[in-house]
Amino acid sequence: MEKGELKILNKGEEEEMELQGYRLCRWRLALVGFGVLCTGGFLLLLLYWMPEWCVKSTCTRTTARDAEVVLLRSTDEFRRWFLARVRVMLAPGSNPFHSLETQTTSPPSSPSSLSCPFSSPSSPPLANGYTPHPSDGSPAQELSRRFSDYQPTQMRYFTFHSTKYYWSDEMQNFNVLTGLEDLEVSCSTIHSEHSAGLTRNQQEYRRLFFGVNEIAVKVPSVFKLLIKEVLNPFYIFQLFSVILWSVDEYYYYAAAIVFMSVISIATSLYTIKKQYIMLHDMVAAHSIVRVSVCRANNDVEEILSTDLVPGDVVVIPSNGTIMPCDAVLVSGTCIVNESMLTGESVPVTKTNLPNPPPGEREGVDGAYNTEEHKRHTLFCGTNVIQTRFYTGELVKAVVVRTGFSTAKGQLVRSILYPKPTDFKLYRDAYLFLLCLVAVAGIGFVYSIVLSIMNEVPAKTIIIESLDIITITVPPALPAAMTAGIVYAQRRLKKIGIFCISPQRINICGQINLVCFDKTGTLTEDGLDLWGVQRVESGCFHLSEETAQKENLVKSQFVACMATCHSLTKIEGQLSGDPLDLKMFEATGWILEEATEEETALHNRIMPTVVRPPKQLLPSQPDASAEQDMELAELSSLYEIGIVRQFPFSSGLQRMSVVSRTLGEKCMDAFMKGAPEVVASLCKKETVPEDFAEVLEGYTKQGFRVIALAHRRLGSKLNWHKVQNINRDYIEANMEFLGLIIMQNKLKAETPAVLLDLHRANIRTIMVTGDNMLTAISVARDCGMIPPEDTVIIADALPPHDGQAAKITWRYADKPSRTTRLEEINISLEAEVHLEEPKTQELYHFAMNGKSFAIIAEHFPDMLQKLVLHGTVFARMAPDQKTQLIETLQGVDYFVGMCGDGANDCGALKRAHGGISLSELEASVASPFTSKTPNISCVPSLIREGRAALITSFCVFKFMALYSIIQYISVTLLYSVSSNLGDFQFLFIDIAIILLIVFTMSLNPAWKELVPRRPPSGLISGPLLFSVLTQILICLGFQTFTFLWVKKQPWYEKWKPLTDVCNQSDPLNVSDLNNTEVDEHNIQNFENTSLFYVSSFQYLIVAIVFSKGKPFRQPSYKNWPFVLSAVGLYFFLLFIMFHPVKGIDGFLEIVCVPFEWRLQLFLVILVNAAVSVLVETFILDIVLWKLAFSRDKQANYGVTPAAPTPQGLIDLQGYKCLSWLCPSKTAPKARYMHLAQELSLDPDWPPKPTTTTEAKPRPENGSVYDIIIINS
């Protein structure tokens, strides 16, 4: 293997990284040590900040297998570097799942732990492992001594982000040992080989690899946090500045900066410490609890949860518990509250893992996976409310993951080690700082040359030259930049929106597309039963309002409604899915669950029982019907027991139950779910011929339709067989029973909020698990799709029997009918021309999850074009919602996602701004959580995001101008061997800058969303124009003042006895005689004149940059800012026109003639007028409008409004701007490029009488064939 070879860790996963191996080199270490001494430790700091330099300067390349240090680099867009030390552990074996034959020698010295069904003793060795820290070496050595027959094995590993990576000779790479999924063990194998438990020796041996079962969020000591915070490059720069100022005897200013830094560091430490404590407390609830585990000899032993390992079998107590690990149920059922993970507070029923009999495992006994089998998996941190069990069999679960490998562990890791925020503002901020440093470099060289020409001492040259650099980078910049975000976070909290990722608030200001879940988000959570439509003999009955009728009470239809649900009683109250609850309540039946005492009296399971109330039962039998005669005999005791549940799966879009009616020999299977899915699993003769038409009729009206089905099971199917049978066997050859029609009303706030977003040119998309036609109807009702717009449904079919994948296009309201085919070829590619966009057709695409998956796989280029106008995505599985978000981000949309937190966790986390509508104050499932259970929080969040973003721009521009203004003043004063005084610096930095910065950030958000969006970065034409013009204005007026003061007839080189004010006060002359010699030449006419002008310039640019409408409230409504600015203006005018001896002495200002003060005042007024004119008229009215006309004209994917005269003016202006700046004519966002291509394509959108086929050609990629279907 070559030494230069790169290894890829976590290939294809979110945390994919490149790995290089290195070995420490002694002579390089010595050389670096010498460099550290020579640079006074600065080189060590540099290597601390730059891991890549650190490794490459101290190590030599080697193979990954022999590495002592590994250098890691993320493969995402950030390309961050990390380093990790490789450690070695001695263990009795190399595979944690190998069986150690000696199982009786272990003394009960340490409690054993839960074991997970990862592998059998005959399993092949794993390629990866999870090794503990060397501090766990003592048990390893103990085991090595205990199992002396085993040859000790060296295990090489490193730790990164709380995860251990273990070297595998077989894979020739480092890998993570997570748990059960690594072995790809089947569900039946878990039951047969992993449900008995582990011996103590097996448990202790596995714990060497998997470590302690604990999500250890260590709260760092204040000292550690302090060191880490202080080593920030910015604070090191501040330390350098303070030392420099102290050497230059600027003690007061240095002390003030130290004070500011201490306050800043203390605040930062307090916030970080508080976050660590909150996170620690969040995971501490289940970190150490006592659990009961089953041993291999059928004993049940109580141990600490920290000792659990994959393969242990844990007993779930009947009164519930908080899960300390991820475990899969192998017997019994549990009712679990998963709100910690999902934000959804509705309890979920978990059933035992299916165990198909040996003869029926073909094709159904797949490998266990926590995602696919989540309905059987108890996740770490979730609360088991109660369990269902039967005599002789405990509720057992096999541990599959422990520690940071668990679902909650992964969430905690994502909080502990977040990805850096990828936002143009922050990237541009660094570029801007580099520009300031470049300006400082010019001043540095200028001051050195000037000082040498003036024969200044070497010490003064060094100090003054370095001083220029410290002036250019403002010390209060980090605190100033975060102020707007902190204030926005407080305002969001006041309106019930909680944020766990404050940096995302700025990004929310850029959102131009929002995805909404439907049920519980756009519509009410609760569903009302509108009616039922039963089927008998393959024909629909007329729809009925209710199922509570005597003639229906013992029908299979009502029995299905009463049994096919996952409801349970918690503290006497029915609880579960709102749809199930409404459906069951509509029957009027009663649900009863066995108590623990009742369960203990029976040798079989006590099922959940449902029965109708006596008043619903027929009062007397009908003698003409034999069946009714039989039922009448049992009328006093008619009840149905639910024997087995197959919970609802969003992937399968159905749920089913097996039940037994009291007195019946045979069991029944009932199923409910999406009508299309249920009908496909029923016998064809039982499904009415007009099924599709009836279903379409309801869905077009916006009803939510649920289909029911029934099947009588064979008498040979006893209770034990049912517990292990596969659901695919039950859910086949069913008899179609009919439809339940549920009404899902829009929330009152939904249409108005969507209208606000539409007016603001923010696209809205519906992503739901519901039926497509229902979703389209709701989209029309809420205004997401205007009534006059066309909806094109994309129906995709996978490759079949040698035929390529194809997409059929049809109107939602006018399904096309195929008669004959005529095939033609067209190209979907067109040249990009910047011309007037053609009048876009008002159309929207709609598709279901199945079509989405096919298009994503076979038509990847087509998918990006579809999402430009895709508005309804129905029957979407949770992972498909996440994939849609990624596709939209792939074409450069800033995507918001609003959901109820249940099936939307991945999408909420992936979106730029994910908002969970949850009653919980903070859900770790999404960056934002709203306590208001409707979508009115979305525009509020975007408005606050825009306000915070504009505040960040304002503050950054102001801080940049503050640095440049001060830099200009100092540079001009250096030319006369002068400088600003210590207290002048102090007054400017503390009294003016800090006060203004922290009050100018207080402007609240504007009251409504506007179509204009704020820019995403600092490097944009209007912003650069704003900053550069203000710099030039300030430079011009300061230079003019500096030169003009020398032209005054009274001007002379200032001395302590100089009296140009014609002051005759003898006390003043006496004071002047006693004045100490000014070594730094601070007191002079140039200094005083520039101090007055520059002080006003700070306030002028603050007011000019403090923008209000359309993103923030006007500055005059920001009372702290107004009072601060007016107070400072008044103070400056006061000391300017009414000198006070004490203040002048403190600020080292000299007296100037009254006429000169008037002239300075005139200069300041003209400066203010020019600044306001340039910023307000030229920038706001001309440049902003022209720049944003591109955004308005090309807000592709938003249904365009009719052209207006103003729009035509904007378009002409945009063309003019494009002509002036030809290099920036093409739109930057990818979705704009795609929209331009499609606007020139005559065959887009696809006509509703066409089918698109995928015909891959390896040399050219995919070509689409359009088949025209003539009706």
What's the pLDDT score for residue 818? 33
Per-residue pLDDT reduced to its tens digit, 735-782: 888 998 888 788 888 899 999 999 989 999 999 877 777 788 888 888
What's the pLDDT score for residue 1064? 47
The encoded tokens of residue 246 equal 């102290």
**Higher-confidence position of 1222 and 576:** 576
**H or E element in which residue 782 lies:** none
**Higher-confidence position of 1246 and 1261:** 1246
Flag the least confident range among 524-528, 562-566, 781-785: 524-528
What are the residue ranges of helices labelled H in 689-805? 691-700, 719-724, 727-730, 750-759, 772-781
Active-site positions? 517
What's the pLDDT score for residue 1017? 72
Place 146 in a pLDDT band, splitting at 50, 70 and 90.
low
What angle is formed at CA 183 by the lines to CA 906 and CA 189, rounded to 5 degrees?
Answer: 105
Please name which of 958, 962, 1152 lies closest in space to residue 1041, comparing C-alpha atoms. Answer: 1152
**H or E element in which residue 23 lies:** strand 17-24
| 3-class SS letters over 353-383 | CCCCCHHHCCCCCCECCCCCCHHHEECCCCE
Count Cβ neighbours within 10 Å for each residue of 977-1014 and write b for 16 or more, e otherwise: ebbbbbbbbbbbbbbbbbbbbbbbbbbebbeebebbbb
799's CB contacts (< 8 A; 6+ apart) are 805, 858
SS3 category, 400? strand
Determine the average pLDDT of the residues in 305-320.
86
Measured CA to CA in angstroms, residue 831 lies from 859, 1238, 1254 at distances of: 20, 10, 22
Report the share of the chain in percent with pLDDT over 90. 9
Residue at 907: amino acid letter: A
Burial class (CB in 10 A: 0-12, 13-18, 19+), 490: exposed
Chain-centre distance for alpha carbon 343 = 14
Radius of gyration of the chain (CA): 37
- Residue 806 DSSP one-character state: E
What's the pLDDT score for residue 1039? 92
Determine the average pLDDT of the residues in 967-976.
87
Residue at 1215: amino acid letter: K
The Cα 287–Cα 264 span in angstroms is 34
Given a cut of 90, is residue 592 above it in pLDDT? Answer: no
Per-residue pLDDT reduced to its tens digit, 205-263: 888 888 888 888 888 888 888 888 778 777 787 788 788 878 877 777 777 778 777 87
- Averaged pLDDT score across all residues of the chain: 76
- Torsion, CA 752, CA 756, CA 761, CA 766, rounded to 10: -40
Contact 293, 112 (CB under 8 A): yes
Count Cα atoms within 13 angstroms, Cβ side, for 559: 24
What are the residue ranges of helices labelled H in 454-595? 458-472, 477-494, 504-508, 556-563, 578-587
Per-residue pLDDT reduced to its tens digit, 689-716: 888 888 888 877 778 788 999 988 887 7
The Cα 939–Cα 752 span in angstroms is 11
Given a cut of 80, is residue 831 above it in pLDDT? Answer: no
What's the pLDDT score for residue 1100? 93
What's the pLDDT score for residue 1139? 82
What's the pLDDT score for residue 3? 56
The Cα 766–Cα 873 span in angstroms is 6
What's the pLDDT score for residue 534? 85
What's the pLDDT score for residue 905? 67
What's the pLDDT score for residue 841? 52
Place 434 in a pLDDT band, splitting at 50, 70 and 90.
confident
What's the pLDDT score for residue 1092? 92
